[in-house]
Structure 1
Amino acid sequence: MIINFIQNYAKLIVAVPEDVVVTKEQIDENFVEITISVNSVDIGKLIGKNGNMINALKTIANGCKAKDGISYKIQVVTK
């Protein structure tokens, strides 16, 4: 659920949406690491001014933690 949302949200923000790849790695039963890979020209757009865009995604992920009990870590990397 959260993976699909993050992928769709990221594709709306970036200039090259076909380069957006979101992967999920289960670290343990209560922790998941989400990696968003984007084109190098789009990393600034996804992070946002003062980190506002990525912080919004992290806030939504924390809301999902309240629902399913899993902690999420979100990273943004370039291709």
Structure 2
Amino acid sequence: MIVNFIENYAKLIVSEPNEVKISQEKIDDTFTEITVYANSADIGKLIGKNGNMINALKVMANGCKAKDGVSYKIQVLAND
């Protein structure tokens, strides 16, 4: 649920939406790491001024934590 939301949200923000990729790694039953890969020119757009965009995504993830009990870590990385 949250992975699909983050992917769609990221594709709306960036200049190159076809280069956005999401990976999800389940560490254990209560922790999942989500990595957003994007064009290096779009990394700043995903992080936002003073980190506001990425913080908004983290707030959404915390809302999902209340529902399903899973903590999420979100990172943004450039495509290689």
| CA distance, structure 2, for counterparts of residue 2 and residue 22 of structure 1 | 11
Equivalent position of 1:47 in the other structure: 47
Large movers: runs of 4+ above 4 Å = none
Equivalent position of 1:38 in the other structure: 38
Indicate the SS of the match to 1:41.
helix
Matched, 1:18 2:18: yes
Q: CA deviation at 1:23?
A: 0.8
Provide the aligned length of Structure 1 versus Structure 2.
Answer: 79
Name the TM-score, length of structure 1 as normaliser.
0.99
Structure 2 portions without partners, runs of 5+: none
| Aligned partner letter, 1:73 | K
Indicate the SS of the match to 2:41.
coil
Equivalent position of 1:62 in the other structure: 62
Name the TM-score, length of structure 2 as normaliser.
0.98
Task: Please provide the CA RMSD for this pair.
Answer: 0.3
Structure 1 portions without partners, runs of 5+: none
| CA distance, structure 2, for counterparts of residue 46 and residue 3 of structure 1 | 15
Indicate the SS of the match to 1:59.
helix
| CA distance, structure 2, for counterparts of residue 2 and residue 55 of structure 1 | 14
Equivalent position of 1:78 in the other structure: 78
Q: CA deviation at 1:55?
A: 0.1
Indicate the SS of the match to 1:42.
helix
